[in-house]
Amino acid sequence: MLNWLHHLINPHCPHCIEERVCKACEILQYEVERLRADNQKLLDRVLNVPSVPPERDEAPEPKAIRPRATTWAIRKQMLEAEDREKLKLLSKAPVAQSTDDLEKELLNAEISRESEGK
């Protein structure tokens, strides 16, 4: 009750002003000011984009790393795999027709075009 009376009589006493501001409030005020300064720096950085172009525009092409020396066993396996693949492709390839068969097919196509055109 005496504090209340003292505050009523002397509202601007330095001792009373110090009591009003607690340590937690000081810490919070310091943190708020620090965050405001950080935000201002970030805004300045974002709004003032530097006009310096980047050092390089494109990433370099990745190169395949091949072993320097391959053993004969590995080389043999690679060659055999390639041969198997070629054999598969050749077996799937259409069989070549004779020249006479191709000429007959061409003649039939011409005849069918002429009959459709009339």
* In-domain check, residue 53: no
**pLDDT tops 80 at residue 18:** no
Residue 2's closest CA among 18, 20, 16? 16
Interval 54-90: pLDDT, tens:
676 777 788 887 777 878 898 899 999 999 999 998 8
Residue in the structure block whose two tokens are 């980047």: 54
Reported as a pLDDT band with limits 50, 70 and 90, residue 1 is low
- Domain tally for the chain? 2
62 in any annotated domain: no
Work out the number of other CB atoms within 10 angstroms of the CB of residue 80. 10
In a domain, 87, yes or no: yes
In a domain, 56, yes or no: no
Report yes or no on 54 lying in a domain.
no
For residues 40, 45, 46 and 50, what is the CA-based torsion angle, rounded to 10 degrees?
160
**Domain of 20, in residue numbers:** 2-47
Mean pLDDT of the chain: 82
- Asked if residue 91 belongs to a domain, the reply is yes
On whether both 8 and 42 belong to a single domain, the answer is: yes
My answer on whether 78 and 113 are in the same domain is yes
